Chain A
Amino acid sequence: MVQFHKPAWLENSLVRWVDHRLPIFSFMSHELYEYPTPRNLNYWWNFGSLAGIVLVIMIVTGIALAMHYTPHTSLAFDSVERIMRDVNYGWLIRYIHMNGASFFFIVVYIHIFRGLYFGSYKAPREILWMLGVVILLLMMATAFMGYVLPWGQMSFWGATVITNLFSAIPWGIGDWVVTLLWGGFAVDNPTLNRFFSLHYLLPFVIVGVVVMHIWALHVHGSNNPVGIDTKGDQDVIPFHPYYTVKDMFGLGVFLIFFALFIFFAPNYMGHPDNYIPANSLSTPAHIVPEWYFLPFYAILRAVPDNFIGGWTTEWLGFIIFEAKLAGVLAMFGAIAVLFVLPWLDRSPVRSSRFRPMYKWFFWIFAIDCVVLGYMGALPAEGIYVVISRVATVYYFAHFLVVIPLLAKFEKTKELPKSISEPVLGGGGGGASAAPAKPMEKA
């Protein structure tokens, strides 16, 4: 059985002197050396710490880029080109930052789908999950504003389209909000300036929410592939060195893929139109957001004009909705629904391994998200619109119909008695395995 010890350096006299005044070392010891982690975590559990590392990479490269970037409409594009051509290693730092955004979303989306598959959002981890959704929203806002900074054609028109979403707010508030966001009558220099300010600020807000996310995590510890609570020392191992080493290995694999893109396909996930300086008098023929926004973009466009507008005037006579409001509400609703997921899914079983039906619906949902992503990249016409609408309806049906019904009708498989039981046999102190004393605590 694995022993949980305080590390030897905690006995160092200088460490003890500091620790007596600021218990930072016993905090580290408690959260790393003595922190019990389920022994059965698989590689899908690497993506949380990986996301944290990518956040650090983004902040470090971002600070370096901000030393050379100029947030002014007449200088921004050229300052980015100067970073690429003249600044020492500027090309490297910018490509890390640019691709880092995409990889951040790859890692975080995998992290989210891991949570969905293994039921990590269920009690007692609801707040942990909701903080995660807050991080996702902040990441989206940060990524969007970062994409505006190079002041290329996609930057400008992306900013125009996304800020105009807010004009859908009814009762005349929308136009007021949009003017407020722009600081003028169109996306222009004041907009660029404030986006730069906020793009620098928000990552540190993300860090703050990440701290709370980890705090909440460490209260009840990680969920695990089996999805049952840990029952004692035979179910857990210390985070360090077991998972620090595993996370480091995962990081190495991740960095290989990351480096492949940075050095061999740095613009693969970008859009060539953004290397054309912004022109407020000419919109590119086909504007598309960055890939990580595509599913939401598809939902935005899928809602037909006057879909809610037509109804609401009948149902709620005094409210006159703008037609485009419905699409905007649907897009934000696609994320909002994640907030209430812990209460939509009343099934007591967390892991899909013991939910034979949910497992299938999980994969259908995953495919649905990919379909939405594809549709978001294609022009909104013909059959694509129909597919987008079906996929959008399914997206919401998954959360609002499928999941609540499964909780009622699904026959789940029998859960193992403990995490160690399938490995050690018996209730944790099996015959053939280590003669560990079963330490049933709860």
Chain B
Amino acid sequence: MADSEGSAATEDGDGGETRRDFLQLATGAFALVGGAAVAWPFIQQMNPAADTLALASIEVDISKIPEGQAIKVKWRGKPVFIRHRTKAEIDEAAGVKLTDLPDPEPDSERVKKGEAEWLVLVGVCTHLGCIPLGTSQGETKGEYDGWFCPCHGSHYDSSGRIRKGPAPRNLEVPDYNFISDSVIKIG
């Protein structure tokens, strides 16, 4: 194709740019846009569907959690830890020097203002996704009175911050807010 047609095509353009070059470029660009437009629905169909998204937020009654204890709830298929912290645990978390932390973050930024006794965390280890121990009574809380991940030995403190072990980041605080004094809405 190249030689014979190329030489014929150069006759109707100057400087080596031909009408054919233009047509090929325009066709190629159009095909690219068309291809992307077709690909989009096929990629997008794999994202969460409307009914999945509709279940994406939950409300939790926290009034039944005694001080010093925690519960696990399921949110978006993952566990969320809700811990009613004691004064000692709050003080311990607030007293840590930020320079001692692998992922420095003050405790006050991990709780809602004036609700420091409530710690809400996504209960998924930031290392490789296991669920750390320390929520249910009788489970080990690790060396820092928080959580301990049995998979690879990450220790989290009473603010859910990583202190020791392979996990790179603190336990994630989900998007939540207090609907009333006793009910929080997660997501």
A residues bordering B, Cβ < 8 Å? 3, 5, 7-8, 33, 60, 64, 67-68, 82, 85-90, 92-93, 238, 240-241
- If A5-B3, A8-B2 touch, does A64 touch B42 (CB 8 Å cutoff)? yes
Q: With a CB–CB cut-off of 8 A, which chain B residues contact A241?
A: 1
Assess A88 versus B47: contact at CB under 8 Å? Given A64-B42, A93-B42.
Answer: yes
Q: Cβ of B4 < 8 Å from any Cβ of A?
A: yes
Q: Which DSSP category, helix, strand, loop or mixed, fits chain B's interface?
A: helix
Residues of A within 8 A of B3 (CB): 3, 5
**Looking at the complex, which one of B1, B41, B51 makes contact with A86 (CB distance below 8 Å)?**
B51
Measured between alpha carbons, how far is A89 from B43 in the docked complex, in Å? Answer: 10
Specify which chain B residues have a CB less than 8 angstroms from the CB of A92 in the assembled complex.
41
Q: Which residues of B contact A67 (CB under 8 A)?
A: 45-46
B180 at the interface (CB under 8 A from A): no
Once the chains bind, are B49 and A68 in contact (CB under 8 Å)? yes
Closest 8 CB pairs of A and B: A89-B41, A86-B50, A86-B49, A86-B51, A88-B44, A87-B49, A88-B45, A89-B45
Q: Which of A3, A8, A87 contacts B45 (CB 8 A)?
A: A87
- The B1-45 residues at the A interface (CB cut-off 8 A) are 1-4, 41-42, 44-45
A-B contact count (CB 8 A): 46
Check if A5 sits within 8 Å of B2, measured CB to CB: yes
B63: Cβ under 8 A from any A Cβ: no
With both beta carbons as reference points, the residue of chain A lying nearest to B39 in the complex is identified as A60
Nearest chain B residue, comparing its CB with the CB of A4: B1
Q: Chain A residues near B1: list those with CB within 8 A.
A: 5, 7, 33, 238, 240-241
Min C-beta distance of A36 to chain B, whole Å = 15
Q: A5-B2, A90-B49 are in contact. List 19 more A-B contacts (CB 8 A).
A: A5-B3, A7-B2, A33-B1, A68-B45, A82-B51, A85-B51, A86-B50, A87-B50, A88-B47, A88-B49, A88-B50, A89-B41, A89-B42, A89-B45, A92-B41, A93-B42, A93-B45, A240-B1, A241-B1
Q: Which residues of B contact A8 (CB under 8 A)?
A: 2
Q: Assess whether B99 is interfacial by the CB under 8 Å rule.
A: no
| B side interface size, CB within 8 A | 14
Distance, CA A82 to CA B51, complexed state (A): 8
Residues in A neighbouring B52, C-beta threshold 8 A: 86
Chain A residue contacts of B44, Cβ below 8 A: 88-89
Rounded to whole angstroms, the CA-CA distance of A3 and B2 in the bound complex is: 10
Residue of B42, B45, B52 with most chain A CB atoms under a 10 A cut-off: B45
Chain B positions within 8 Å of A85 at CB level: 50-51
**Closest residue of A by beta carbon distance from B42:** A64
B25 to chain A, nearest CB (A): 16
Residues of A within 8 A of B42 (CB): 60, 64, 89, 93
Which residues does chain A contribute within 8 Å of B49, judged by CB atoms? Answer: 68, 82, 86-88, 90
In the assembly, what is the distance between CA of A64 and CA of B49, in Å? 13
B88 → chain A closest CB, angstroms: 47
Contacts of A60 in B (CB 8 A): 42
Closest Cβ–Cβ distance, residue A240 to chain B (whole Å):
8
Residues from chain B with a CB closer than 8 A to the CB of A33 are 1
Give complex CA distance A157, B95 in Å: 72
The minimal Cβ–Cβ distance linking B43 to chain A, given in whole angstroms, is 9
Interface string of B128-153 (1 = CB under 8 A from A): 00000000000000000000000000
A85 to B51, CA, bound (A): 9
A88/B41 in contact, CB under 8 A: yes
Shortest CB-to-CB span from A292 to chain B, Å, is 25
Give chain B nearest CB distance to A137 CB in angstroms. 29
When distances are taken between beta carbons in the complex, the residues of chain A under 8 Å from B47 are 88
A151 CB to closest chain B CB, in angstroms?
19
For the complex formed, measure the closest distance between the CB of A80 and the CB atoms of chain B, giving whole angstroms. 13
Using CB atoms, name the residue of chain A closest to B46: A67
